[in-house]
Amino acid sequence: MARYIGNTNEDREQMLKEIGLSGIDSLFDAVPESVRLRRDLDIPKAQSEIELMKNLKALSNKNLNVDNYTCFLGAGSYDHYIPAVIDQLLLRQEFFTAYTPYQPEISQGTLQVIFEYQTMISELTGLPVVNASMYDGATSMTEAAIMACESTKRTEVLVAGSVHPENRQVLDTYAKFRDMTVAELCYKDGQVDFEDLKNKLNSNTAAVVIQSPNFFGIIEDVKAVADMAHENKSLIILNADPISLALLKSPEESGVDIAVGEGQPLGNPMSFGGPSFGYMAVTEKLMRKIPGRIVGETVDKEGNRGFVLTLQTREQHIRREKATSNICSNQALNALAATMYMTLMGKEGLKKVAELCYYKSHYAYDELIKTGKFSPAFNAPFFKEFVVKSSEQVDILNNKLLQKNVLGGYEIGLKYPELKEGWMIAVTEKRTKEEIDDLVRKAVE
């Protein structure tokens, strides 16, 4: 956030003069008098910088944050380490107003950043076509389902019950206002129930949507689901944690048609739930169906390397009814942070982060089970998040830990009543052995 904006009264007067207006009020001539507010806003009076910063600090201290609490809470937003250089680079002035690069001749920096982002996500997923990021993980999954329906000329989407519940809610909301139906697949031992999938696949199934690692943290058999979907001439959409892709088989290797996901783990802070961005990668066959924009590399008339918007399917560029997406924000600054993160970490760095998440989470799981107070909820492989059954009521357990400066796991029974004893723990590369041992000790006290 900019701490100082240097617009003077002279600057304002000059801007008004340039557009031929006499004063600020003239900017609102189009607003009817009957709806204008003719009194001061009911907000505190202006404060000095010292007073303002003191009050804002007091307000912020009411929030719990991962600087003062050890975080084992995940469920879609994760406490990964963010190199200090990312925030510093994002403060560069040229990134403050980076938005839609309508004129490529004056937007080469922005276009190159997007091109590099697309290239890295393509390498991570193995899929050849990536767009200029999405609004968030939930809407990227939903727009993938819409794209699948339009591509296959079918109207039903099968979504696994092990997909993040909030993502499924967004999908249901969109489906209500489109010619789409959504059917949920059962899970068995935390993974897609293949028998249920086999029974529900039909001639109207446009796509099967799964998540791996799924909401329970469990790694799905993506290849098996993909084979079943393709045999039915349906597409498969995989929602994947991008960090996991540095260690697990890529979506392309598993036969995935559309890979989507939440980009927050890639160098973006948790920020109390956002903002973040979503990623989307598709096969070449789906290139002209992908929502949003694609930046391409070219050369100018003098042979110099340059970048242009190759495909543009947003409603700003074409007729609304023809647009593949009507969400007009691609979260460019968040995607830029992800590009910086992937550049700084490199292939080996990303793999190391993924390995640390894997091994540390399994250590935490084993130590919790050893106490006898917790038991396995599932018998399936997991990545950095897992569910155990607690002998103590989960909300009471979390409140107890909170008093000891620990953000405990997610109470999974809130979304899955059949798992009312379930406690879902997330362990990232930031968690130390001492912190994990401390969690186990405090959980059994």
Assess contact for 136 and 338: CB atoms under 8 A: no
Listed in sequence order, the residues at least 6 apart from 180 whose beta carbon sits closer than 8 Å to its beta carbon are 145, 146, 149, 155, 156, 157, 174
Asked whether the beta carbons of 251 and 238 are under 8 A apart, the reply is yes
Residues 216 and 77: their CA atoms lie apart, in Å, by 13
Domains of the chain: 70-82+346-444 (3.90.1150.10), 88-341 (3.40.640.10)
pLDDT digits 0-9 by tens, 414-441? 999 999 999 999 999 999 999 999 999 9
What's the CA gap between 379 and 413, in Å, rounded? 18
CA distance 155 to 158: 10
Sequence-ordered alpha helix ranges (H) in 298-432: 332-370, 394-402
Please tell me the pTM assigned to this model: 0.88
CA separation for the pair 290, 323 (Å, rounded):
10
User: HEC profile for 311-344?
Assistant: EECECCCCCHHHCCECCCCCCHHHHHHHHHHHHH
Beta-bridge partner residues of 82: none
pLDDT tens-digit profile of 288-300?
A: 889 888 899 999 8
> Distance (Å, rounded) from C-alpha 443 to C-alpha 445?
6
Render pLDDT for 185-235 as a digit per residue (tens, 0 to 9): 999 999 999 999 999 999 999 999 999 999 999 999 999 999 999 999 999
Per-residue tokens: 303: 């042979």
Longest dimension (CA), the chain: 76
Under the banding of pLDDT at 50, 70 and 90, the label for residue 107 is confident
389 forms bridges with which residues in the sheet? 375, 422
More confident residue, 314 or 341: 341
Question: Using CA atoms, how far apart are residues 261 and 208, in angstroms rounded to an integer?
Answer: 15
Structure tokens at 154: 């079918």
Q: How many residues does the chain have?
A: 445
Taking the C-alpha atoms of residue 290 and residue 122, their distance in angstroms, rounded to an integer, is 14
